[in-house]
């Protein structure tokens, strides 16, 4: 376990990205529970990589949701529904992860869903350079449907109860504390426990970031060879 500053963590992650030697874009997963700090870390890593001259594609699982009418067949607060019904993994692989992977043509689309209108998106394709880096954040990224698509797997870990407090702060303008707490305690956190019980994501991560104190993070590197995930 190492502990340091935020900049030291980002330097370590950038080194891990640089160490990946593949002939196609490097696909980086930033996994972890809701409100663990995944999006912030992924944004910061993208900036650090761009500062080093890398071409970065920044994308998120939130842009691969099914439309709302399809997301809740088991009910709005179902943990199983959160894990099983929310995300369009087939589309994610088809339009983003597989085109950027081995044998892909590197012509990708970064999103298939529009939050503002709750409708499917049909964006034009873009061709990535062979040395580009995809920095992709989201929940459940190391599940069986996706686990072999990543060259580098980062898991952002934090105390699950702490994520509730962070969510209340983050969403106070759109949801009451009671609404946020119910959604977290009945849907999101049980879904994470289901994910841990069935997938054991930290066992598959290359780097685990302990983010309880974001300005004083700790991290541990595993012994996986990123090239073995192709």
Residues 171-205: tens digit of each pLDDT: 777 678 788 788 888 999 999 999 999 999 999 99
> What CATH code is assigned to 2-222?
3.40.50.300
Q: Please, which residues bridge with residue 157 across strands?
A: 210
Position 223 scores a pLDDT of: 63
Q: pLDDT-based confidence at 225, cuts 50/70/90?
A: very low
Q: Looking at residue 83, what DSSP letter applies?
A: H
pTM over 0.85: yes
d(CA 86, CA 70): 8
Average pLDDT over residues 151-163: 89
Q: Please, which residues bridge with residue 87 across strands?
A: 65
Q: Is pLDDT at 50 greater than 70 in this prediction?
A: yes
SS3 183: helix
Chain-centroid distance of CA 132 in Å reads 18
Summarize the chain as % helix, strand, coil (round to 5): 40, 20, 40
Position 60 scores a pLDDT of: 98
d(CA 206, CA 223): 7
Q: pLDDT-based confidence at 40, cuts 50/70/90?
A: very high
Do 194 and 19 contact (CB within 8 A), yes or no? no
Average pLDDT over residues 212-221: 93
d(CA 139, CA 137): 7
Q: pLDDT-based confidence at 166, cuts 50/70/90?
A: confident
């Amino acid at each position: 376990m190492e502990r340091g500053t935020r900049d030291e963590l980002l330097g370590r992650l950038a080194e891990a990205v640089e160490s990946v030697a593949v002939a196609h874009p490097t696909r980086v997963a930033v996994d972890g529970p809701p409100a663990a700090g995944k999006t912030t870390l992924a944004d910061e890593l993208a900036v650090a990589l761009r500062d080093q001259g890398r071409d970065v594609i920044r994308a998120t699982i939130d842009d691969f949701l099914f439309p709302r009418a399809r997301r809740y067949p088991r009910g709005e607060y179902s943990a199983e529904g959160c894990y099983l019904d929310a995300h369009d993994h087939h589309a994610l692989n088809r339009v983003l992860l597989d085109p950027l992977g081995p044998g892909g043509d590197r012509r990708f689309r970064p999103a298939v869903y529009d939050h503002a209108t709750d409708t499917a998106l049909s964006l034009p394709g873009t061709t990535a350079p062979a040395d580009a880096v995809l920095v992709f954040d989201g929940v459940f990224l190391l599940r069986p449907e996706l686990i072999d698509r990543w060259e580098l797997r980062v898991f952002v870990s934090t105390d699950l109860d702490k994520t509730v407090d962070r969510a209340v702060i983050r969403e106070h303008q759109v949801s009451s504390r009671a609404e946020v707490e119910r959604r977290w305690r009945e849907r999101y956190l049980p879904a994470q426990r289901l994910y841990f019980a069935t997938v054991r994501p930290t066992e598959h991560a290359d780097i685990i970031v302990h983010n309880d104190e974001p300005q004083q993070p700790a991290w541990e590197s595993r012994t996986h060879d990123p090239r073995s995930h192709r």
